[in-house]
Amino acid sequence: MILNSVFKRSAEISAGLKQGLLLGAAALVLTLPPAGLATLRPHASLLAFADSAAAWRPAADFASHPASDEARFVANWVIASQDNRRLPFVILDKREARVFVFAANGRLIDTSPVLLGAAVGDDSVAGIGERPMDHVQPQERTTPAGRFVSQPGKNASGEDVVWVDYAAAVSMHRVRLVDPKERRFERLASPDPAQRRISYGCINIPVAFFESVIWPVIGAARGVVYVLPETKAAREVFARTDAAGASLSRTNGPNL
């Protein structure tokens, strides 16, 4: 009788342990994020990264090229957090009117001065991508800041472009003569970044650099473009950006 009671008690304890384990596992499933969610949104760690020693550790290789502290900070964060998803990436420093093109591992491929939106600002006006060029006001000719998943395509004229923000009609394309009075080619050669603010918002690339660097690197497939802000802090802009990036489904459209 005593032996049967012991066996019965042992069975009850075993059943209780199993039930407790099952309930604990269920609670763990409910409280933990789905697998991979943490890696989908690495931007959440940007502020912590900014306060860490790793922020200034040279994770990205600029190959002795001069670059602003903000450009180095963002490039180091991209590599440390793998935010680029092993894709080649571009950093556009608007204050310096210069692009840095990196391989997926953070090695600088090359850098070049570029032409940018004439107006100072980090946001595009809603619906600007649908407007004719002559309806865009001077103060609206901005190059938006943020993180963009680029996509190669063609503009309305059939030219090769790399779309940065399709909705705002912002792309990277070869510099071309729009109005001789703008002196775009002369501006590209100027050492003064302020002289390189002339476009409607698009990123005008020197022809040779577009054909030898931009198109071979991000013209064959997608990349990630980080446009540094000029009126806001980089950590503010990139910490709030959705790590999934912009989704582009079209390859033909307006171009500024």
The span from the CA of 234 to the CA of 236, in Å, is 5
CB-CB contact of 202 with 255 (8 Å): yes
The span from the CA of 118 to the CA of 200, in Å, is 6
What pLDDT digit, counting tens, does each position of 53-69 carry?
555 566 899 999 999 99
pLDDT at 204 over 70: yes
CB-CB contact of 159 with 173 (8 Å): yes
Tell me the CATH class for 39-253: mainly beta
**Which residue carries 């069975």 as its tokens?**
11
Q: What is the pLDDT of residue 57?
A: 67
CB-CB contact of 193 with 97 (8 Å): yes
In the chain, where the domains are located? 1-32, 39-253
pLDDT at 23 over 50: no
pTM greater than the 0.95 cutoff? no
Burial class (CB in 10 A: 0-12, 13-18, 19+), 66: exposed
Q: What is the pLDDT of residue 13?
A: 40
In this structure, is the dihedral angle defined by the CA atoms of residues 98, 87, 247 and 250, taken in order, positive or negative? Answer: positive
Burial class (CB in 10 A: 0-12, 13-18, 19+), 156: exposed
